[in-house]
Amino acid sequence: MNTADLGLPVDVPSTALFTDHYELTMLQAARANGTAERPSVFEVFTRRLPEGRRYGVVAGTGRVLDAVANFRFDADQLEYLRAHRVVDEDTLAWLAGYRFSGDIWGYPEGEVYLPGSPVLRVEGTFAECVLLETVILSILNHDSAIAAAASRMSSAAGDRPLIEMGARRTHELAAVAASRAAWIGGFSTTSNLAAGYRYGIPTTGTSAHAFTLVHDDERAAFEAQVASMGPDTTLLVDTYDVENAVRTAVEVAGPELGAVRIDSGDLLLVAHRVRDQLDALGARNTRIVVTSDLDEYAIASLAAAPVDAYGVGTQLVVGSGHPTCSMVYKLVARARTTEPGAPLEPVAKRSVGGKASVAGRKWAARRRDAAGIAEAEVVGTGEVPEELRESQLLVPLVTKGEVVAREPMSAARARHKAALEALPLSATQLSRGEPVIPTEYHLSEQAAERESPRARG
C-alpha cells in the first residue's frame, strides 16, 4: 500500500468512516436529484490565523494522501450503514465502488500559509469530493496546528535541539501524528516509539523519576543506569536535591557523563547553578536538558541560560494554546451540468458573522522583493499574471485519482526551513502581531461578482 512506497512499515486502514453522517445524506440527496455528478471544486483555507500568530504551517499532507487512497467502504462498513439506515440501498451500492478519481492540488507539506491561502484544492464530481471533507479537515487542522507550534518553538530554541515528548498528554494516535508534525516543524527527536517506527523519526529517552524512586537511593539508581547505558546517558537530577544529585551523577559516571535533565524548579536559575557545578567537577562537556511544561515563551526566556536541549510535551500537542487552525472545506465552483469539461461557475457562502468565503477556483503565488523575501500572498482566479507564474504555490498531489506527490518527510522539513527563512524577520517574533505578509486577491470579473462583500473589502 501507499506507505510501502517510502519504505514505511505501517499501512493505513480504511478511512471511509472517518466522516460525518451528513456527508452521506448529502450524497444520497444529490444522487437522487441529479447534481451528484456535477464537476465541482472544493478548497481548504482558513479565514484567519490564531490570534497573534504571524504565519501558519502546512502539515499532514502526506497523511491526507494516505487517507484519500484508503477511502474505501468494505463489507462491514457498508453493513453498518445499512443496519443504521444512514443511506438507502442505491447509495450503498455506489459507495461499495467508491474510488476518488479526481485531482488534488495543494501547498506542499512544510510550506507556510496565510489567511485565505488555498491550502488544498479538491476537484472532481460533487459526490466524490464531498465525502472527503471531514477526514481532510481533521488531519490538516490537527497536524498544521502542531507544526505551527513546533515552528515557533524551534525558532525560539535557535540551534538547540528540541525533543518531542507529548504522547502522554493526548490521544494515543494523535500523539503519533503530533510527533510527525513536530519533526516537520523543526523538532529533532521524539520519545514516541510508534512515531519512530511508522515515520522513521529519531527516538530518544532514558529514565523517569520512578526509576530513581524504585531504588533504595539515588546513587543506586544512577549506577544501574550507567551500568546499563554507559556514561554518555542522561541522568535525571531533580528527584530529591539537585546539587547532591549532580555531584553523585559525576561521581558515578565520571566527567564523561553525557547529560543531566532538570524537570522542575526555576529552570533559568537552576540551569546556571548546575552548569557551574558541572564545570567545577570537571564535567565541562556534560549537557543540560530541561523539561517541565515548556512552550515557545519559556524556551525564549531560557535563551541566555546554559541549556543544551529542550524537551516539550503538553504545550506542543495542544498547539501551544491553539489546537486547531480553523481550516474549512468549501465548495467554490461547480458546473450547471454533469458533462465532463462543463464550464465551472464560482459559488460562495455569503453569510455574515465572519464566515463568508471567496468564490472561484483559485491559484496562489507568493510575491517576493528584490532580495527574495516574501512581501505578499497573492490569491486569484482566472489567468495567473506573467510575473507570478514562477512563484505559484499549489502543486499537483493527486491526478485522476493517483497520488503523484509522495515524498520523504525530510523534504517537508527542509521546505519549512526554507519557507521560514524567506519570510520577513518579524515572522519569528513571539509578540502578538498581524500576519507577517498581507493576502491580496486578484479575482476574475465572474468571481468578483460572486464574492462576498467582506472579501471585496
With b meaning 16 or more CB within 10 Å and e meaning fewer, what string describes 83-110? Answer: eeebbeeebbebbeeeebebbbbbbbbb
Burial class (CB in 10 A: 0-12, 13-18, 19+), 271: buried
Average pLDDT over the chain, rounded to an integer:
94
Residue 454 reports pLDDT greater than 90: no
Rounded to whole angstroms, the Cα distance separating 148 from 129 reads 27
* Nearby residues of 33 by Cβ (< 8 Å), 6 or more positions away: none
Residue 33 reports pLDDT greater than 50: yes
Find the mean pLDDT for residues 271-282. 98
Torsion of CA 144, 147, 149, 154, to 10 degrees: -160
pLDDT tens by residue, 241-255: 999 999 999 999 999
pLDDT tens by residue, 189-240: 999 999 999 999 999 999 999 999 999 999 999 999 999 999 999 999 999 9
Q: Which residues pair with 344 in a beta bridge?
A: 335
Find the mean pLDDT for residues 362-380. 97
pLDDT tens by residue, 298-351: 999 999 999 999 999 999 999 999 999 999 999 999 999 998 889 999 999 877
Work out the angle at residue 186's Cα, subtended by the Cα atoms of residues 183 and 187, and round it to the nearest 5 degrees. 60
Q: Which residues pair with 395 in a beta bridge?
A: 106
pLDDT on residue 341: 84
Note whether 348 and 355 are within 8 A (CB).
no
Residue 106 reports pLDDT greater than 70: yes
Strands (E) located in 202-298: 234-236, 259-262, 287-290
Q: Which three cell numbers stand for residue 350?
A: 455569503
